[in-house]
Amino acid sequence: MNPFLNPSIAIPFLKNYIADTNRIERLSSKDLEKYRNKAFRKIVAYAYTVPLYKKKYKEAGIHPSDIKDLKDITKIPFVSRQELNENFPDGIVPPTFNKQKGLVICTGGTTGKYCCNSGSEPVCIYTNVLNLLRGTLVSFRENRFYGLNLKITRFAHIGNFNPFKIDEVFDKNVMKHIRSFFSFKNYLAMQASNRTREILDKLNDFQPNVIISYPTIFQDLAYLKKKGFGKNIKPKILFVGGAMLDDYTRSYVEDVFGCHMYNTYSSCESGAEIAFECTQRNWHIHSDFFHLEAVNENLEPVSPGKRGHLVITRLWGGGTPLIRYTGMKDWITLGNGKNCSCGLKSPIFGRPVEGRVLSNIILPDGTRYPPSNFLFTITNVLKSFNTFKVLRYQIIQKKIDEIEIQLVIDHDLNDTGPTFNEMAKQIEKKYREKTGPKVNITVNEVEEIKDDPTTGKPAPLVVSQISQNSICDLT
């Protein structure tokens, strides 16, 4: 049955559409906080019907009646990725939840393997059509901010449409039914693992106003466009997510496409975009949908402006609730309440999301660098040379004292700008200054950096092959 013909879905969605899309702009700070507190109490009461949460809350001596507002969130125990895996399927949804009609979405792998045993393994949770629909309202809010008209703007989404991934689940359970009412000639979806030239040719025919994808997909497309292909691709704006966007890639892509590129921040578990980057390059949190905390290694709150591990609470939705969830394993730095000059009233990150804890670079002296902090060195070097000769790069920590930096070079630019040896020498020098003499740094040219063949996602910029068990699971 088409869910849009089901009153139990269509009516709540219309109510949410009216209430959600402009809530942050419509409500005063005081009223928004009242809304957040009410939503928090409601989701905690819902979680108490879920076996995993009910067990943890009883062990902690907590009852929903003890929770008055978000200030009480510290009374509530954390929930890890491993706990969701161990309690899948029956323990992560209420007994009344119809799992036959529910939808499963998974992080990481694409095999549909639901039960996992490690905090670094994929995690699967339950959602439903109404959740998927409500999650789109955050995107409506962002589109309005950028002045994008859904009726006339041509969107191209290059994502991960493998089984059990949120892109695939949404396309199969929502977009398919929307097409029954609308032609959707202004929307194009493509698999990120397709050949880059094939993607480029389709974009050239479609001529999108907006393209949504991963950073390295954009860089590969920009490379081909720079070579003279895709002449009809002239987007007004690019949205990037699913991986870190470094300054070098942003500069490269914006230079080729002639438009701005902005970050979005979401996850499979979140069900909606958690934050997005405005025109002033600040990251705005959708605080009526999510409550974020930053904690240290001991799960203690860190002060605003200090880097910490992300703990996320989703203030909406059914299926599997997320309350004080540590499993996303990102570094964040929360802001200090300052307003952004773009005019949006939503709270901002003090610093952009810095990548997964599992990609930390750990030095022999115990120093730990989040991925974006370690990338900062190479992007600065490449920008200082004022060249786009490097098509891709990857930093691989093979041992505690061994780091390899791989560069893919555009040999059509051999006669311009710095040589590979000049770039490699400077990159090696700067990283030696950063890591100290006990770490062996090598910079090598490679023909390609292969993407993940199982997930379809582009290869990460930072890879750590050393054990990080001490920080792998925050609970």
CATH number at residue 142: 3.40.50.12780
pLDDT score of 91: 98
How do residues 364-406 score in pLDDT, each as one tens digit? 998 888 888 888 899 999 999 999 999 999 999 999 999 999 9
Given a cut of 80, whether residue 331 has pLDDT beyond it is yes
Amino acid symbol at 280: Q
Q: Are residues 140 and 258 in the same domain?
A: yes
Percent of the chain beyond pLDDT 90?
Answer: 67
Q: Are residues 433 and 348 in the same domain?
A: no
Is pLDDT above 70 for 19?
yes
Of the three residues 338, 354, 370, the one that is the final residue of a domain is: 354
Instruction: Name every residue whose Cβ is closer than 8 Å to that of residue 79 and which is 6 or more positions away in sequence.
Output: 52, 53, 56, 322, 323, 324, 325, 326, 327, 475
C-alpha 250: how far from its chain's center? 16
Query: Do 341 and 375 belong together in one domain?
Result: no
Rounded CA-CA distance 169/173 in Å is: 6
Evaluate whether 297 touches 109 at the Cβ level (below 8 Å): no
Query: Taking residues 13-22, what's their average pLDDT?
Result: 91
Q: Which of 399, 370, 380, 388 is nearest to 461 (CA)?
A: 370
329 shares a domain with 269: yes
Residue 48 CA to residue 46 CA, distance in Å, equals 5
Task: Say which DSSP state 53 is in.
Answer: H
The DSSP annotation for 128-187 comes to -HHHHHHHHHHHHHHHHHTT--TTT--EEEEE--STTSHHHHHIIIIIHHHTTT---TTE
pLDDT at residue 304 tops 80: yes
What pLDDT, on a 0 to 100 scale, did the predictor assign at position 393?
93
Residue where a domain terminates, one of 308, 327, 354: 354
Same domain, 148 and 254: yes
Query: Does the pLDDT value for residue 411 go beyond 60?
Result: yes
Into how many domains does the chain fold? 2
My answer on whether 394 and 344 are in the same domain is no
Asked whether residue 453 carries a pLDDT value surpassing 70, the answer given is no
Q: For residues 13 and 177, which has the higher predicted lDDT (pLDDT)? A: 13
Average pLDDT of span 48-67: 97
Average pLDDT, the chain: 89
In tens, the pLDDT along 172-195 reads 888 877 766 666 689 999 999 899
pLDDT at res. 336: 72
Q: Is 468 left (phi over 0), alpha (psi -120 to 50) or beta?
A: alpha
For residue range 421-448, list pLDDT tens digits in order.
999 999 999 999 999 999 999 999 999 9
**What pLDDT, on the 0 to 100 scale, is given for residue 70?**
97
Measured in degrees and rounded to the nearest 5, phi and psi for residue 41 equal -60, -40
Q: Is the pLDDT of residue 138 over 90?
A: yes
Q: Could you tell me what percent of the chain has a pLDDT over 70?
A: 92
Q: pLDDT confidence of 475, banded at 50, 70, 90?
A: very low
| pLDDT band per the 50, 70, 90 thresholds, residue 51 | very high
For β-strands 402-409 and 390-399, DSSP reports them as: antiparallel
440 and 317 together in one domain: no
Residues 419 and 460 in one domain: yes
pTM as predicted: 0.86
Cα–Cα distance for residue pair 68/51, rounded to 1 Å: 22
Domain's final residue, options 311, 326, 354: 354
Say how many CA atoms lie within 13 Å of 418 toward its Cβ. 18
Verify that 317 and 235 share a domain, yes or no. Answer: yes
Whole-angstrom distance, CA of residue 9 vs CA of residue 420: 58
445 shares a domain with 349 = no
Q: pLDDT per residue over 116-133, tens digit each?
A: 333 357 899 999 999 999
Whether 320 shows a pLDDT value over 70: the answer reads: yes
My answer on whether 23 and 88 are in the same domain is yes
pLDDT, average across residues 334-351:
84
Whole-number pLDDT of residue 352:
66
**Model pLDDT, residue 427:** 96
Residue 320 to residue 465: CA distance in whole angstroms: 32
What is the CA angle 65-66-68, rounded to 5? Answer: 90
Q: Which domain holds residue 228?
A: 1-354
Q: Is the predicted pLDDT of residue 109 greater than 60, yes or no? A: no
One domain for residues 385 and 250: no
Give residue 339's pLDDT.
Answer: 82
Domain CATH number, residue 452: 3.30.300.30
Give the pLDDT band of residue 456 (cuts 50, 70, 90).
low
Burial, 157: exposed, middle or buried (Cβ in 10 Å; 0-12, 13-18, 19+)? Answer: buried
